[in-house]
Structures are given as structure tokens and as C-alpha cells.
Amino acid sequence: MLVKIWTDTFVITGEIDMLRDERLTDYIRENKEFIAVTQVKVADREEKDLFHTHFLNVSTRHIEIILPAE
């Protein structure tokens, strides 16, 4: 699933590997401390591109908003 994640500093867009019919909320709760995001674009809060990477672990403590990306 392609998602967009806001932290206090960054906007992260990338893919997470979820089970079929799994809810995003359940996925976040199950993964506790970190979620693995692939094909990642990281931008600042004004959405200026900072970098791209194939893999990034995102701390769930720092996630303010997460939603499916369009």
C-alpha cells in the first residue's frame, strides 16, 4: 500500500507491505516501534524533496498522521 506519513519534521511517501484486507490502523499497532517503508521519498513539511531511498524504518512514536497516498 502506498502511504503518506507526517512526522513533526518530515513528510514521508512510500510503500508498506500489508496483508490483504488488513486495516492500516491494525498494521501500525502490530508493528509497535518501527514500520518498514520502501520506495521512499522524504520531504520537509513544506514538501520540498530532501532525498529518496529504497528502504526506511520509521519510528511509530514520531508518526503524527498516516494515510493511504493517492
Chain segment 23-49, per-residue pLDDT in tens:
998 888 887 899 999 999 999 999 999
List C-alpha distances in Å: 33 to 51, 63, 70: 23, 11, 26
pTM to 2 decimal places: 0.91
What cell numbers appear for 45 in the block? 513539511
pLDDT for res 57 = 96
Model pLDDT for residues 5-23, shown as the tens digit of each residue: 999 999 999 999 988 888 9
Q: Which domains does the chain show, CATH number per domain?
A: 2-68 (2.30.30.100)
At 60, is the pLDDT very low, low, confident or very high (cuts 50, 70, 90)?
A: very high
For the purposes of burial, counting CB atoms within 10 Å of the CB of 59, is it exposed (0-12), middle (13-18) or buried (19 or more)? exposed
pLDDT for res 49 = 97
Cα three-residue angle 52-10-66, rounded to 5 degrees: 100
